[in-house]
Homo-oligomer: A and B are copies of this chain.
């Protein structure tokens, strides 16, 4: 049993992570820390977890960040941009595993890109240089190697949009099935994607019964998507990404358009190529026709559902990739990373099936 700490446990990703860890058979004590809720109990912030720590009438108090880090074998951080390095350094000093749910560790050594989009700099560049981007399906061997590593063990947990988008393109790019320019990624997200902060765009009366793109051409997940697609393709990829806010709580659905590299390829061939590519990935389900991927069928699970289609022009592939933004797009993927890094069965603690409704 490993001791876990969740730093930033009152944010949405942190709270979801606590919930998943509560059901994880290898997770022992779970320490929670939150600067905004010091001295309060977890259940006062999240009444859904009332009674969730064994006691029917209580729940643990939030502890000091340093105390949580000192006690834990695995530290998860879900903090605003620019706050992860300090926690990462403390973990490195102690030799514990650090999994960051913010964007701080998603760019590896490429500080310039990080700084351009997030306006922060690296306090510990050497930790970033040694870190791994935690998309397990892409980087499993490197993540697995972290466990026995003598060096720092830092994982940058991927963003929600990049997870759905890049998994939807991975087979096409790696197998050279897609042209590498002119790709369009049109994605919808549920409102939890913008977290617990009270904003006009997440005010019920503003977003119910309504949908719209936002941050067009300037969303911070753009450089992350670009970097991962380039790694997958082995060369620069030209893509356009537009996020939309949809009136639903959870989920991301990315509708992805690319031109077939081989003219005349049939949709069945393309689907089989995808299915074969992911045959050994438990969490990626390439759906048989006529199913279409939707957030509904992956809700509360760590699955990424992918369906493969062809446009009416016969030349444009349309791939739909759906995840739960809070699970595979955040907390679940963090647990998956922990499982791989620590040598647990990758599915442990993530075996729940999505509810039908």
Contact = CB atoms under 8 A, between A and B. Distances in A.
Interface of A: 12, 15-16, 19, 22-23, 46-52, 56-57, 182, 184, 186, 188, 190-192, 196, 198-200, 202-214, 216-218, 222, 238, 240-242, 244, 246-251, 253, 255, 257, 275, 279, 282, 285, 287-288, 291-300, 303, 305, 309-313, 316, 318, 320, 322, 326, 351-357
A213 B299 CA distance: 17
Contacts of A285: 50-51, 56
Nearest to A311: B240
Copies of this protein in the complex: 4
Contacts of A294: 210-212
A322 B240 CA distance: 21
Nearest to A192: B205
Nearest to A212: B294
A357 B198 contact: no
Contacts of A282: 51, 56
Contact of A287 (B47, B300, B351): B47
Contacts of A303: 51
26 contacts: A23-B351, A23-B352, A49-B353, A52-B353, A56-B285, A186-B255, A188-B188, A188-B244, A192-B357, A198-B203, A203-B204, A206-B296, A206-B357, A208-B248, A209-B249, A209-B299, A210-B294, A210-B299, A212-B320, A213-B255, A213-B320, A238-B313, A240-B257, A240-B312, A242-B318, A244-B255
B222 A242 contact: no
Contact of A247 (B196, B206, B214, B248): B248
Contacts of A199: 198
A91 B216 CA distance: 47
Contact of A355 (B48, B244, B287): B48
Contacts of A297: 47-48, 50
Contacts of A48: 296-299, 353-356
Nearest to A204: B191
A279 to B, nearest CB: 7
A4 to B, nearest CB: 15
Interface centre among A51, A191, A205, A218 (most CB of B within 10 A): A205
Contacts of A248: 208-211, 247
A55 to B, nearest CB: 11
Given A22-B353, A213-B292, 15 more contacts: A19-B353, A19-B355, A23-B353, A51-B303, A56-B282, A192-B357, A198-B199, A202-B203, A205-B357, A208-B209, A217-B312, A242-B255, A247-B248, A249-B357, A300-B300
A237 to B, nearest CB: 11
Contacts of A205: 12, 191-192, 196, 202, 249, 357
Given A253-B211, A300-B355, A311-B216, A246 B188 contact: yes
A74 B131 CA distance: 50
A27 to B, nearest CB: 13
A169 to B, nearest CB: 15
